Structure 1
Amino acid sequence: MRADDFLHPTDAGLYCPPGDFFIDPVRPVPRALITHGHGDHARSGHGAVMATRETLEIMAIRYGEDFTAARQPADGPVRVGDVEVSFHPAGHILGSAQIRLACAGGPVITVSGDYCRTPNPVCAPWEPVPCDIFVTEATFGLPVFKHPNPAAETQKLLASMAEFPGRPHLVGAYALGKAQRVIALLRQAGYDAPIHLHGSAQRLSEYHVAEGIPLGDLRPATTPKQIEGQVVIAPPSAFASPWVQRFRDPVICFASGWMAVRARARQRGVELPLVISDHVDWPQLTQTLSELRPQEVWVTHGAEEALVRWCELNQLRARPLRLVGYEDEEE
């Protein structure tokens, strides 16, 4: 079986004919396999959804219990049509997974979704999945992106709070995954004061706690008079709303891999950029491909051409998929 007969891009997303399913489709389809709960990968309205238990529960929190007509937790290898499907940790956010596909007479394909090899205290670590074809993201697929140690970035936040004890530090962090990771990093660094959350991050953080991830004293960010700690975490979109005006002289922070680009920090009015990413950077990306050595690499979500060129220079066959409809939700 040719690879394109097994899995190929369509307007709705990657489609697998032998299993008659889509992976991370961008519009409603009869059957979807979902890598993780971010909205550019996990959408509502599908007829049936297979994902990890955590991703299914996160989708229910975000979209309501009726987000799909039928749901199936991924539990060990299962057959979907003529395809053996298994889910493996991606290290991106809670519940994130790489999806391995195997079919008689065809190549073994791993669709990585979004993944990260830097240890993340709020999710299972990435694991290598041997395959013939590796479908990789390239969100930070340029040599300029070399992310620093998240613990060192956390120390920058703690140092700023010590320098400006009277100013609240408003940390822009995506409500699913990044917010909880920033909280966990602060707790690991010894910060045990209350951390206040914008409403969009509160229920998802409570879910992480229910899953056994210790996040310490979390409180709603309602009015400044009720703020007992210096840290307030909110999605970046909140900083463009009247919500931010309730805080007097805040230090505006933003936790994202994109904060390595100084122009983006300036455009957002960020005083304290924190380069904390849940994606592989360039060294991790190329290390992964060097270690897996698949027969072919399919590249999507980002700087596709640069990574394809690197593959060619390193004797790896590669092609860009040019899928549409995917964006980094941190933006």
Structure 2
Amino acid sequence: MTPAQTTAATLLQTRPEGLYCPMGDFYIDPTRPVQRALITHGHADHARAGHGAVMATAQTLDIMAIRYGADFTQSRQPAAGPQQIGDVAVSFHPAGHILGSAQIAISHKSIGTAVVTGDYSRSPNPACAPFEPVPCDILVTEATFALPVFRHPDPGDEIARLLASVAAFPDRAHLIGTYALGKAQRLIMLLRAAGWDAPIYIHGALQKLCDYHVTQGIPLGDLRAATITRGQKRDFAGQIVLAPPSAFAATWAQRFPDPVICFASGWMQVRARARQRGVELPLVISDHVDWPDLTRTITELNPAETWVTHGREDAIIRWCALQGRTARPLRLLGYEEEET
């Protein structure tokens, strides 16, 4: 370990529970129950129940309560401005991923600043606050789509493809597989921006989180329950229905008239994945940075060290080496591949 790595390790370390800050005695997005956890956002592979104390944005705390119940932790603290925890200062900054998502900056006057991005996106997302670049000495970045092949198209163009399909097949329902938190609400906002003022039908698994977004000032328009009673099947012809991908494995999807199975995910750029899922209309819409935005972020922030986690590490580590940048993989365990 070099002297620079030794200094950095006093600020952040990897442990079986996850990323640990010894000078503040807390973990960031731990995969096992710990005494004190700082959480970047509400997706299940980052936000787990059972910690002694949790600090997160107020929206992430609300989302965790919706998903896990009010007693998901013994103590909760909303992040509001810089906080001193032990020997480090901690602050939360918008990540542009989903509602309430944040990067966590950890600073020590003699060591410098580390920023843990969690999941983040630099594409405009009307359902959450935009990504905020935070200067840092150590950047801990996700690498979900860290291959040069991943270059996400304009989401507006993908929505245009969807609406063209709806117009071309007015007798069929379009069923879109979408992650219940973040992606569903973003799709609704994109549809509204594209001029779709008709009702959007949602699976019951999306209802509570959509309702919460509305309370936070996110206008989702006319949402209706995607339930069919006898004799109503034809009422869904030409309609758009959002549901979690798991719903398509059941008979639920076949209740709709000749459904066009769609799926909204950055992984839909991989045709084999679309075929495996039986997707007729893949929509390449992601809430993560693609290769150009990942490399742009590293270049703009120009950290002394880049630590890579959550995904495909080798290519970005190699890119950093070719750019003369210090980088290393963290290989944290317990983080699932999100359908985003």
- Flag whether TM exceeds 0.5 (same fold): yes
* Corresponding residue of 2:18: 13
- The runs of 5 or more residues in structure 2 that have no matched partner are 1-5
- The CA deviation at 1:237 is 1.1
What is the alpha-carbon root mean square deviation over aligned residues?
1.2
> Could you tell me the TM-score, scaled by structure 1's length?
0.98
The aligned counterpart of 1:200 is: 205
1:328 deviates by: 2.5
Residues 1:272 and 2:281 aligned together? yes
Q: Which residue, out of 150, 154, 159, partners 1:149?
A: 154
2:84 to 70, 79, 85: 79
Number of the residue aligned with 2:175: 170
2:268 matches 1:259 = yes
Alignment partners' CA distance in 2, 1:213 and 1:302: 30
TM-score (norm 2): 0.95
Q: Secondary structure at the match of 2:195?
A: coil
Describe the SS at the equivalent of 2:208: helix
Aligned to 2:248: 239
Quick one: distance in 2 between partners of 1:198 and 1:82? Answer: 46
Q: Does 1:66 pair with 2:85?
A: no
| Contact residue 141 and residue 306 of structure 2 kept, 8 A | yes
For 2:98, the equivalent position in structure 1 comes to 93
Is residue 39–residue 329 contact of structure 1 (8 Å, CA) maintained in 2?
A: no
State which of 119, 127, 133 in structure 1 corresponds to 2:124.
119
**1:304 CA drift (Å):** 0.5
Aligned residue number for residue 305 of structure 1: 314
The amino acid across from 1:210 in the alignment is: T
Deviations 1:56-76 (A, max 9, x none): 000000000000000000000
CA offset at residue 267 of structure 1?
Answer: 0.3
CA distance in 2 between partners of 1:326 and 1:243 (Å): 29
Which residue of structure 2 aligns with residue 109 of structure 1? Answer: 114
Aligned residue type for 1:280: V
Q: Match for 1:159 among 159, 164, 175? A: 164
Aligned residue type for 2:318:
R
Residue 105 of structure 1 and its aligned partner are, at CA, apart by 2.3
Give the structure 1 partner of residue 227 of structure 2. 222
Residues in 1 aligned to 2:293 and 2:338: alpha-carbon distance in whole angstroms? 21
Question: 2:3 — aligned with what?
Answer: none
Paired residue type of 1:93: I
4+ runs deviating over 2 angstroms: 226-229
| Alignment pair present for 1:316 and 2:288 | no
Q: Deviation at 1:143?
A: 0.2
Q: Is the partner of 1:113 in helix, strand or coil? A: coil
Q: Match for residue 34 of structure 2?
A: 29
**Alpha-carbon separation, structure 1, partners of 2:254 and 2:171:** 16
Residues 248-307 of structure 1: CA deviation (Å, up to 9, x unaligned):
310000000000000000000000000000000000000111111100000001111110
Is residue 180 of structure 1 aligned with residue 194 of structure 2? no
Instruction: Identify which range, 229-238 or 11-20, moves more after superposition.
Output: 229-238
1:295 aligns with 2:308: no
User: How far apart are residue 241 of structure 1 and its match?
Assistant: 1.7
The Cα offsets for residues 21-78 of structure 1, whole Å up to 9 and x where unpaired, read as 0000001110000000000000000000000000000000000000000000000000
1-structure distance, mates of 2:85, 2:279: 47
State whether residues 88 and 127 of structure 1, in contact with CA within 8 Å, keep that contact through their aligned partners in structure 2: yes
Rounded Cα–Cα distance in structure 1 between residues aligned with 2:282 and 2:108: 46
Which among 128, 132, 138 is matched to residue 137 of structure 2?
132
Q: CA deviation at 1:155?
A: 0.3
